[in-house]
């Protein structure tokens, strides 16, 4: 197996299946076709954030190529370059106070690099909540940037970003890597065996981060197996209710350790700010700060649980797509080739039309949870009943 011929070491070497985008970005970093605002779009796992960070490193590169070896490239990729500001949302939205701080930093002159680079992951979350205020906090800065400022925004699609912002950006569209490309990457970069790499590449459906997690961690593989075996067992109301509860439990278990660590870190920072003085801890400012920390903790936990549930729904959807492939005699390996027997059992007991409706039911459950804030357990119970095999 071989990966695309991208020079290594290089800031571009972690991008899989994106040669066209790499060439555009490489030329821009070299001064050809450079603009002040970029929008990186692509499906989950396509590497849009990695592409934006690689571009940020190339813009700062001391050799102007994105060599991956110089001090600027190494600090950029490590997230420690003083002239690259990376904004990630651990909740369901970007808050206006964070955007105002970003705008303030965008007006500063570069400390040691060539550019002041402002990278915003999940730019689609600017369009949620009070979208006008949050967008307006950024709009003027993107419309009229300082000569040395570059904005890099990441979102699933162009339509997920507010029109007033996306119209000012040059779009870089990334594709989902193919299973062979992902498998080759895992073999070459992570030393994974070809069999395990092939499984992880198929099961991840082109999501590089998910593929690496599946290839590296047996617990992750076991949790996924539990989810993809659910469709075949949805034969009664009781089984549907249990499956919904199990999916919620899987999400909570997977995020528990990460949530506990981030909560402890946030509380530690608060304690360090206010110290052990009893008077300071009874002040209004401390109580307000504590409320804000607790609110952020709840939002982060909710976001992480929802992300895991959403991934589980995509895994379940892959089973129904595999079942349709079996029913119509489509060639090639299934996404869930390792449980082909279970997929074929679902295919025997259903029709392609029924499975298309089941896929629609999964999308409906996602919308209920993501857009209408329905309690996950209630949405999943309703969905599982709709998926029931009668």
6 pLDDT band (50/70/90 cuts)? Answer: very low
Q: Domain extents for the chain?
A: 19-173, 179-216, 233-387
Residue 297: its pLDDT value, please?
A: 78
Task: Look at the alpha carbons of 135, 140, 144, 145 in this order and tell me if their dihedral is positive or negative.
Answer: negative
**Among 58-62, 125-129, 135-139, which stretch is predicted with the lowest mean pLDDT?**
125-129
d(C-alpha 84, C-alpha 131), whole Å: 25
Residue 91: its pLDDT value, please?
A: 64
Residue 8: its pLDDT value, please?
A: 47
Q: Is the pLDDT of residue 63 over 80?
A: yes
d(C-alpha 48, C-alpha 152), whole Å: 10
Q: Is the pLDDT of residue 305 over 60?
A: yes
CATH number of the 19-173 domain: 3.40.50.300
d(C-alpha 80, C-alpha 119), whole Å: 13
Kind and range of the H or E run holding 12: none
Average model confidence (pLDDT) across the chain:
89
Residue 83: its pLDDT value, please?
A: 95
Q: Give the contacts of 117 (CB within 8 A, at least 6 positions apart).
A: 56, 59, 60, 83, 84, 85, 149, 150, 152
What are the tens digits of pLDDT across the range 128-186?
544 556 667 788 888 888 899 999 999 999 998 888 889 999 999 999 999 999 999 99
Q: Is the pLDDT of residue 96 over 90?
A: no
**Among 8-22, 45-59, 133-147, 366-380, which stretch is predicted with the lowest mean pLDDT?**
133-147
Most confident of the following: 54-63, 252-261, 364-373: 54-63
What pTM was computed for the model?
A: 0.82
What are the tens digits of pLDDT across the range 252-273?
998 887 777 777 787 888 888 8
Higher-scoring residue by pLDDT: 95, 208: 208
């Amino acid at each position: 197996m071989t990966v695309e011929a991208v020079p290594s070491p290089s800031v571009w070497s972690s991008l899989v299946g994106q040669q066209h985008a790499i060439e555009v970005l490489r030329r821009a970093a070299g001064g050809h076709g450079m603009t002040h605002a970029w929008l990186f779009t692509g499906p989950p796992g396509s590497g849009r954030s990695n592409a934006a960070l690689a571009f940020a490193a190339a813009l700062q590169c001391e050799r102007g190529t994105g060599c991956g070896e110089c001090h600027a490239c190494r600090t950029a990729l490590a997230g420690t370059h003083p002239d690259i500001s990376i904004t990630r949302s651990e909740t369901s939205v970007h808050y206006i106070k964070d955007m105002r701080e970003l705008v303030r930093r965008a007006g500063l002159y570069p400390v040691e690099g060539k550019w002041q680079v402002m990278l915003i992951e999940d730019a689609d979350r600017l369009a949620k909540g009070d979208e006008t205020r949050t967008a307006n906090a950024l709009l003027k800065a993107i419309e009229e940037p300082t000569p040395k400022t570059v904005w890099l925004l990441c979102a699933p699609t162009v339509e997920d970003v507010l029109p007033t912002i996306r119209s000012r950006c040059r779009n870089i569209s990334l594709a989902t890597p193919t299973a062979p490309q992902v498998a080759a990457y895992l073999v070459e970069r992570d030393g994974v065996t070809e069999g395990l790499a092939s499984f992880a590449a198929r099961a991840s459906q082109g999501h590089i981060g998910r593929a690496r997690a599946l290839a590296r961690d047996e617990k992750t593989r076991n949790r996924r197996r539990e989810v993809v075996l659910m469709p075949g067992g949805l034969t009664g109301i009781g089984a549907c209710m249990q499956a919904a509860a199990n999916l919620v439990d899987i999400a909570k278990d997977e995020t528990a350790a990460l949530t506990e660590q981030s909560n402890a870190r946030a509380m530690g920072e608060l304690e360090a700010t206010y110290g052990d003085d009893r008077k300071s801890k009874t002040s209004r400012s401390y109580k307000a700060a504590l409320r804000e920390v607790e609110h952020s903790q709840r939002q982060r936990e909710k976001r992480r649980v929802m992300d895991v549930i959403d991934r589980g729904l995509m895994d379940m959807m892959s089973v129904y797509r595999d079942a349709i492939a079996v029913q119509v005699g489509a060639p090639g390996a299934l996404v869930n080739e390792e449980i082909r027997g279970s997929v074929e059992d679902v295919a025997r007991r259903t029709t392609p039309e029924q499975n298309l409706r089941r896929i629609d039911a999964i999308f409906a459950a996602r919308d209920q949870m993501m857009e209408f804030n329905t309690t996950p357990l209630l949405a999943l119970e309703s969905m599982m009943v709709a998926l029931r095999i009668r």
